[in-house]
Each structure stands twice: as C-alpha cells, then as structure tokens.
C-alpha cells in the first residue's frame, strides 16, 4: 500500500485525481492484508508514463499502465467507461473520462466498487461498505447489464460467496439464473481459475450450492459432478484437493474433467491420487511410488492420519537415482541388451530395496539379482 500511496501523491502533485480501488479497498475494510493494489486516476496513460521513470504497457489500449517502483509493479488505470460487449467479455469501446464515479459504475459488485484516498478516506457511491458489513454480494446497478458485459462475473459472484462467506443478493442471484447459459461463451482458462479459487475458499460448500441453484453448473463441462454434498469437503491451500474430492465422491476418472485443461503435472497427480485411494493398505512401496502431494489429496478425503513426509523420509531410498545398482549393471551381469526384461527386473530390484528385503549395496544386489534371474529364467 505504501507504493500505491507514493504513486497517488505524485499524480496529485501533477494536478490529477488518483485513488486506490477494487479488491484492495474491500480487503482493507475487512481487516485483511490487501494484495494487488490498483490505482485509478484522471491522468491519461501517456500522462502517467511521463510522470514515472519506469512503466510497462500492460493494457494501454484500455488505459492501464504498470508503474514499477523498487521492483514492485502497481497497475494504474485511467478513469473510463465501457460499452458494447459482443464477446461477453471485452468492451467493444473504451472511453476515458474524468469522473471517478463513472469509473466505479462499470465495476462488478458494490463491495468492489469503492475507492480510497491516500489518507484512507472511503468513497462509496453504491453502498459497498454497507453490503460488506451485511455480508452481501450485490451487482453494481442493473445486474443483467453487469453480467452481459462479462459473463464470468456470474461465476465471480459465486466465488466471492464462498471466499467471503457472504450471501448473494436475491436480484443478483436471479439475474445469474436467467443469464447462466452465457457462461458457455467464457474461455475455459478463466472458468477454471475461478473454480480453483472456490476450491480453496473459506466456505466452498456455499459456492457450490449457489452454483447448482443458479443453474450455472448446467453450463460447465460435466457440470452434474458439482452437484454433490460439499459439507464434508476439507478445503485447504491446494485447489487440486477440490477436483480430487469431486472425482472421488462421484466415482469418476480424470477423463470426466479433462475439458478444464489441467497441466500435465496436475493431471498426473489426480490420476495417481485416485489410484492410491483404491489401495486398502499403504506400505513402504506406496510411500515410495506416490508423491507427498498425491497422498495428501487422498488423506484429506479418507481421513488417514499417517505422516506421509516422515514415512517417505524413513525409506531406504527415495528414488531410482539412489539405488546402488542400475539398468546398465543388470545388462552387464546378464550380457543382454536392453529390452522389456530390463524394466521389469529394475522394478523388482527397486521394490526389494524399498521393502527392505534387500540391502542397498551393489554387491548384495548383484548376488540377489543373479540368483533370482537364474531361478526365473
């Protein structure tokens, strides 16, 4: 917030209006530490750039310039109005204005449509502070207009309900229900980002209930999967835990949610966690074969109390690289070239060491391998 105040002071010295806006004001009033503090100003992007030594054009066509001070960036945006949303996301026309109120009027919800001076005075033309105190998510102005401007705002309302443990204003909720089908025109990356935030929110069950009640879930890939009991979901800091809970409770595989475009690592972790959840007993081989994150996903749902990290640290080896022998040794000891046999015998050697049936010593591994190999071939 200190950097934002410095930026505001510089803009005001030059004769422009400038205020902190958006989520930072909301969080400050809630007593939370503000993140990503944005500044709105009457200065044009060119005028902002002329006042500061280092700036980055992050969205200059829409009036946004990032001012960098001591390596930290703060987005500064010119007061503006927007009109025409043919793609249900971006405005067809952006017009710079000199009115803070006009700028705040275009924002999504009243709790996000407040501004704050550098002296921490609040400017609240739409009753955001009252809604914040009452725990209400209410669209600014006419809800239908806000949601036609950007259909993702409907899902944002759902997300804020769980993130803040707020209820959605009835007229805002009704407008979401009536415009729910427009969610299908929103980019999947944006949708997943909101769902991820729901998964780690304070009260995800509230959000999921609204998701179903407003029919937004009907316009999500495999939307019916969300219609489960979320009251037992143990939300944490990893959004993947919510996706695992979704699959686990529905008895589904990863393929049912592949449209959400997970990273390769997240896909792998979900698939392996589902595999681990089907194992009746977790022995050393399980702690070796699955990562801490994969087993943590299962633990959150199955209520297993074992200390995964401690069990993994106590293993004789943590990876193949720690084995005293490798595939090249097996080929040397047999005189055979690489082939399917090598993968199978390497795995058997690995498993024997992990399960403490074989010491991780090269000579002992050699004796064991030659004996086992001759017996089975």
Predicted pLDDT at 81 = 84
For the record, the structure tokens of 137 come out as: 């998510």
* 79 and 95 fall within a common domain: yes
Instruction: Read off the pLDDT of residues 54-65 as tens digits, 9 standing for 90 and up.
Output: 999 988 888 999
| Residue-range definition of the domain harbouring residue 182 | 135-228
* 123 and 165 fall within a common domain: no
* 158 and 211 fall within a common domain: yes
* 93 and 182 fall within a common domain: no
Strand-pair partners of 39: 20, 76
* 78 and 178 fall within a common domain: no
> Which CATH number fits the domain that encloses residue 172?
1.10.3090.10
pLDDT band at 306 (very low <50, low <70, confident <90, very high): confident
Give a yes or no: residue 77 inside a domain. yes
* 50 and 83 fall within a common domain: yes
The four Cα atoms 102, 125, 153, 211 give a dihedral, to 10 degrees, of: -160
Q: Which of 186, 203, 228 is a domain's end point?
A: 228
Average pLDDT of the residues in 195-212: 97
φ/ψ region of 243 (left if φ > 0, alpha if ψ in -120 to 50, else beta) reads: alpha
The residue to which tokens 């392996």 are assigned? 272
Tell me the percentage of the chain whose pLDDT exceeds 70: 97
Give a yes or no: residue 216 inside a domain. yes
Is the pLDDT higher at 123 or at 91?
123
Give a yes or no: residue 293 inside a domain. no
Q: Which of 193, 228, 263 is a domain's end point?
A: 228
Yes or no: say if 242 and 233 are a contact pair by the CB < 8 Å rule.
yes
Poorest-confidence range of 133-137, 239-243, 279-283? 279-283
Q: Where are the beta strands (DSSP E) in the chain?
A: 18-21, 38-41, 55-59, 64-69, 72-78, 80-83, 93-96, 115-116, 122-123, 136-137, 167-168
Average pLDDT of the residues in 90-96: 72
> Which CATH number fits the domain that encloses residue 121?
3.30.460.10
Count of the separate structural domains present in the chain: 3
pLDDT band at 88 (very low <50, low <70, confident <90, very high): low
pLDDT band at 90 (very low <50, low <70, confident <90, very high): low
pLDDT band at 91 (very low <50, low <70, confident <90, very high): low
Candidates 105, 39, 101; CA nearest to 73 is 39
pLDDT band at 166 (very low <50, low <70, confident <90, very high): very high
In the chain the first and final C-alpha atoms are separated, in Å, by: 71
* 21 and 90 fall within a common domain: yes
Average pLDDT of the residues in 180-205: 96
Average pLDDT of the residues in 308-335: 96
Whether the per-residue pLDDT at 82 is higher than 80: the answer is: no
> Which CATH number fits the domain that encloses residue 365?
1.10.246.80
* 5 and 66 fall within a common domain: yes
* 174 and 69 fall within a common domain: no
φ/ψ region of 343 (left if φ > 0, alpha if ψ in -120 to 50, else beta) reads: alpha
pLDDT band at 87 (very low <50, low <70, confident <90, very high): low
Whether the per-residue pLDDT at 89 is higher than 60: the answer is: no
Q: Where are the beta strands (DSSP E) in 214-327?
A: none
Give a yes or no: residue 218 inside a domain. yes
Q: What is this structure's pTM?
A: 0.89
Alpha carbons 122 and 142: distance in angstroms, whole number: 23
Predicted pLDDT at 142 = 96
Predicted pLDDT at 62 = 86
Give a yes or no: residue 142 inside a domain. yes
* 59 and 73 fall within a common domain: yes
Alpha carbons 228 and 223: distance in angstroms, whole number: 11
């Amino acid at each position: 917030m200190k950097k934002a105040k410095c930026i505001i002071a510089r803009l005001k010295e030059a004769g422009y209006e400038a205020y902190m806006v958006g989520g930072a004001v909301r969080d400050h009033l809630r007593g939370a530490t503000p993140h990503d503090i944005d500044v709105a100003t009457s200065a044009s992007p060119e005028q902002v750039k002329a006042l500061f030594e280092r700036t980055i054009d992050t969205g200059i066509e829409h009036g946004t310039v990032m001012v960098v001070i001591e390596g930290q960036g703060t987005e500064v945006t010119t007061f503006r109005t927007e009109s025409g949303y043919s793609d249900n996301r971006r405005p067809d026309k952006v017009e710079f204005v000199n009115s803070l109120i006009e700028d705040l009027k275009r924002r999504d919800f009243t709790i996000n449509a407040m501004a704050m001076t550098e002296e921490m005075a609040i400017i609240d033309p739409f009753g955001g502070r009252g809604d914040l105190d009452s725990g209400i998510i209410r669209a600014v102005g006419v809800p239908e207009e806000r949601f036609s401007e950007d259909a993702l705002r409907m899902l944002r309302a759902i997300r804020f309900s769980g993130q803040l443990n707020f209820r959605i204003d009835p007229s805002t909720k009704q407008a979401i229900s009536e415009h729910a089908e427009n969610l299908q025109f929103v980019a999947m990356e944006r949708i997943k980002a909101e769902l991820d935030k729901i998964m780690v929110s304070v009260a995800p069950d509230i959000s999921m209930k609204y998701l179903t009640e407003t029919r937004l879930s009907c316009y999500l890939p495999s939307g019916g999967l969300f219609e489960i009991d979320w009251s037992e979901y143990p939300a944490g800091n990893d959004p993947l835990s919510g996706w695992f809970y979704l699959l686990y409770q529905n008895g589904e595989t990863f393929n049912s949610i592949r449209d959400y475009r997970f990273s390769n690592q997240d896909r792998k972790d979900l698939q392996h966690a589902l595999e681990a959840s089907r194992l009746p007993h977790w022995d050393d081989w399980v702690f070796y074969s699955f990562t801490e994150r994969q087993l943590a996903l299962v633990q959150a749902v199955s209520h297993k109390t074992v200390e995964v990290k401690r069990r993994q640290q106590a293993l004789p080896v943590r990876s193949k690289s720690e084995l005293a022998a490798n595939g090249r040794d097996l080929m040397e000891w047999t005189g055979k070239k690489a082939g399917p046999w090598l993968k199978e015998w390497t795995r058997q050697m690995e498993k024997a060491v992990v399960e403490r049936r074989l010491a991780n010593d090269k000579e002992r591994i050699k004796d064991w391998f030659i004996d086992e190999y001759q017996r089975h071939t």
